[in-house]
Chains A and B, each alone.
Chain A
Amino acid sequence: MKPTSFEYERPDSLDAAMRLLGDNPGAKLIAGGQSLGPMLNLRLATPSLLIDISRLEELRERAAHDGYVVLGAGVRHAEFEDGRVPAVLNGFFERAARQIAYRAVRNRGTIGGSLAHADPAADWPAIMIALAAEVEARSVRGSRRIPAADLPNQALETCLEVDEIITSVRVARCGEGARVGYYRLSAQPGDFAEALAVIVHDPQRGYTQAVLSGARQPPQRLGQTARAVAAHCSGNGKADLPAAVEADLTAISGTHDLTSYEWKVRRASVLRAAQEVCV
């Protein structure tokens, strides 16, 4: 349980970090180290160089703008939990962050690290997709904005190029009357989510999104569920929520196995999140 030998650098600027990353294809970024640390010790990750970006002030932005907020990649889960970031939807960041692992992890782990690691059981990827966030990635070649939904390719893999660093997340602020449904199922508090359902409904912007993720389930948008929730909330006819959820689940899993454990907990999680919005 000791890592292989690696070099370690702690650059003092984002530019220096980007240069190091560009020059060293075998390098890995480390911020909070809450996923990478164990992977190094288990020798599942064997980088030649670790670039420590945990102290870069340039990644610590927490700015409220008209209609959106910008959150630096280095903002830690505990800062969300403690309400030290501008809100996009009353109390939601606090509520969601509080359920990530436990406080010692939240004191170190960062939102950028969570998004870049792309663990399907992690909380932020699903939440940021549900909020239609955009991720800013920079390299010595320039910068680009990636919709949160396009960031993960598959479990533990993103569309980031090897020289790109996530620098911030840009999240739209929800309007008056916006509601969120959030249901996180884990074996015990602090465990990774078995199923995580997030539904955001913002009538002012005419925006509704539903996302499901979990242990064996990279985040997926649930279109029919979102439409059913929107319909229900606007009072436009009676929506058949269970039918919509089941249609989405069938579409993303390719099966319709009503007796399987996964099916049941996913169905129940999405329905419970939906019910919270639709009350």
Chain B
Amino acid sequence: MGVAAGSVKGGIGASIQRREDERFLHGRGQYVADIMLPGMLHAAFLRSPHAHARIKAIRKPDGREDRVIVAADLTGLKPIRSSPNFPNFKHAEFPVLAADKVRYAGEQVALAIAETAAEAEDLLHEIEVDYEPLPPVVDMKRALEPRAPLVHDHWSDNMFCETRFDYGDLDAAIKAAKHVVTREYRMNRQTPMPLEGRACLAHIDRRTDEVVVYVSHQLPVPLQIGLSQVLGIPQRRLRVICPDVGGAFGLKTYLEGETVAVTWAAVRLGRPVRWIQDRYEHLVCDASCRDHWYRVTGYADVSGKLLGIDCEAWCDTGAYSPWPWPAGIEASTAPGNIQGPYDVKAVRGRAVTVATNKPPGQPYRGVARPGACFGHETIIDALARELAQEPHEVRLRNLVRPEQMPYRTATRKLLDSGDYPAAMRKAAELIDVSAVRERQRRGEPDGRLVGLGFAAFYEQTAYGTGPFGYSGWGIELVPGLEPATARLTGDGELVVDVGVHSHGQGHETTFAQISAEVLDIDPGKVTVRYGDTSICTTGTGTYTSRSTVSAGGAVATACRQLKVRIARIGAHLLQAAEKEVEIRDGRVFSASGSVSFAEIGRAWYHHPEDLPPDVDPQGLTVVAGYKAIDGGVFSYSVHAVVVAVDPAVGHVDIIDYVIVEDCGRMVNPMMVDGQVIGGLAGGIGNALYEESPYDEQGQPLAATLADYRVPGASSVPDVRIVHMETPSPLSEFGMKGVGESGAIGPPAAIANAINDALRPLGAEIMETPMTPQRILDAVERGKLKQ
């Protein structure tokens, strides 16, 4: 039995069109806001105008008391608590609705319910809240000063936690170093920007006695577990459906107070209740991301070979620790990845996580890796300046070499495969370093300054349960296992069910391609289902670039097992021995003839009398799982960018962009390009545009999309992407994750390019987003220095 190589059309490696796009491009997607239920009510949230205040009293409007819900009404709820096992981690509940205090502007204080969304908003205006404003904690450094106000009254200070590690002998590296370069930098707060905001709709299905919650979310099964714990509804009576989700990027991974409150209300009122977040709520009240400060020092020998790196990372994580990804992970991720793709023997890290009066922080595409990458890449460029050498040459001297693979980093990560220097050389060749240098020597007729920047990095993807994966953090919910169900239907086609969600990744296509590859059928005959806890009862969802490797691995395993059962029945129908049959083109072949999958399906579903007497009674449905390798598999990339900076007005134009990347075996190269380009767009937003600033009173200053700037189509360059395809020895088909990598490199690469451009002015910028104002300020500082 076997598959004739290359006979399948649309299997692994084929750039077939995304099957989900038919409905998306015609506006026929089904989002929570598209779902209407009879008798449905609408919810709106009253939100705090203060960043920090005590709630003295809340008065509900007369006669409408039953349509306004406050914290005191929420009987029967258990608190949301989310804590890692970090030493001295300070615990604080994550309120469903604020009770005693509000801890950020926009925090939900009450829920109003009405027949229409507009009337629910009207009702909000009739609720009176007496606040006693308190001084807010806004700046993470000042938050730890002795007399700073406390975000949580029972804490001794505003630090959630501090973690430290020391791998290798950094003191020896410091002693041996001939070059020491230090950079301090700031990655400001952002808000992930899915097209669709958050949304939920809860109702009771009287037939099954289930509470059904439709929610725009990445993690259906974890959300079911979390809601069950908080609401006290057994998991068997709670069904979570995540229909089409219009982007998420990490934002939709936590147990939100709004979802809990709306579900509680729907159960209490016995009627469907829906809440659709608006863009103002999204920008002002939602979880945010980044908000980091770093100091990174690189120690190198006389030749520019890095001996050690010391990294201090601070994260302003806002008021609360979200479930299931608690405060502390974000900051700790940065030092853990600060050595980058380089051969470095000693790394020291310190991560400080601070509570402030801002919305809670959440992981966002790349988590802290864009910050870590910014560190190791600006250090390399600083080193190159000291050595008066080309930055890419200094990188080549330090990159882990292919003969060192698999390579154990100082921070104990196992880089599994690849040729990092080859990627670097390819990027340098494509961006044409010498041509850019020549252009810089000539100068621009319009006075702009041209600069070249690189960023090299690895991305740890699809990591598992063990100590090098998630369980090391001691968090509430440890991912790693992923299931898939493959079922041959009575007419010989395939239904595949997975526990991961797809919110832009295109799993309906890639998992069909993986199934097609294993079973040698047309991917058009495969339906991929997900996003419903009654379809797939386990699996943790899509994040950390894990789904293609993990769920895809499970799909391959399930299909392979199904194939054995198909072959056995087929052989029986053909009166051949099992080892004499071959599967191709959706049929089972023997020497004398063939039967189609449809005939095999017919035998199982309609005519069991035709089955072999010893047929596996599990039939044509296979449930299989995939356990990701502990430390995951490592993609890597080199980004190279040329910018032109207008030094009079501080504007940056990206004039060339090259990405060389290796995500192992590609299931669908066109969709890998899509992931890389989408990641690049997010990374450009991080580098140049996106910021959620706050004033000294903790008031958000970017409350609409006029102030929160997202890169538009014209701000994303026509990037040239080159794929290297080094299969991982540790995954199915050698696949590696690619969902986040495009977003990791741009801040570092663009910063290096801008700073290369500003070099004649003695200016350097070390803060994202690199807005025109910040660039002009950097130019001003450069003038003072000179």
Contacts and interface: CB of A to CB of B under 8 A. Distances in A.
Interface string B116-145: 111001100000000000000000000000
A120 to B, nearest CB: 13
B649 A265 contact: yes
A222 B751 CA distance: 37
Contact of A261 (B117, B281, B689, B773): B773
B278 interface: yes
B673 interface: no
Contacts of A5: 118, 122
Interface stretch (A79-87, A165-173, A189-197, A200-208): A189-197
Contacts of B777: 261
Given A2-B117, A261-B772, A268 B122 contact: no
A194 B689 CA distance: 14
Contacts of B649: 185, 264-265, 268-269
A77 to B, nearest CB: 17
B715 interface: yes
Given A1-B278, A261-B776, A269-B649, A187 B121 contact: no
A188 interface: yes
Interface stretch (B361-369, B419-427, B529-537, B704-712): B704-712
B709 A191 contact: yes
A185 B117 CA distance: 39
Contacts of A194: 772
A4 B122 contact: yes
Contacts of B704: 38, 42
Nearest to B783: A259
A265 B773 CA distance: 9
Nearest to A102: B712
A261 B121 CA distance: 39
Chain B interface residue number, banded: 20 to 34
Contacts of A189: 712, 714-715
Interface in B715-774: 715, 771-773
The interface residues of chain B, by DSSP majority, are classed as helix
Contacts of B279: 1
Contacts of A33: none
Nearest to A195: B649
Contact of B772 (A1, A102, A187, A259): A187
A1 B706 contact: no
Contact of B709 (A1, A187, A268): A187
A28 B772 CA distance: 37
A32 B709 CA distance: 23
Nearest to B709: A187
Contacts of A265: 649-650, 772, 776
Nearest to B648: A268
Contacts of A188: 689, 709, 711-712, 714-715
Contacts of A102: 712
Interface string A239-277: 000000000000000000001010011001100000000
Contacts of B709: 187-188, 191
14 contacts: A1-B279, A1-B280, A2-B121, A3-B118, A5-B118, A38-B704, A185-B649, A185-B651, A187-B689, A189-B712, A189-B715, A194-B772, A261-B773, A268-B649
Given A1-B281, A191-B709, A268-B648, 12 more contacts: A2-B116, A2-B117, A4-B118, A42-B280, A42-B704, A187-B772, A188-B715, A189-B712, A190-B714, A259-B780, A261-B773, A264-B776
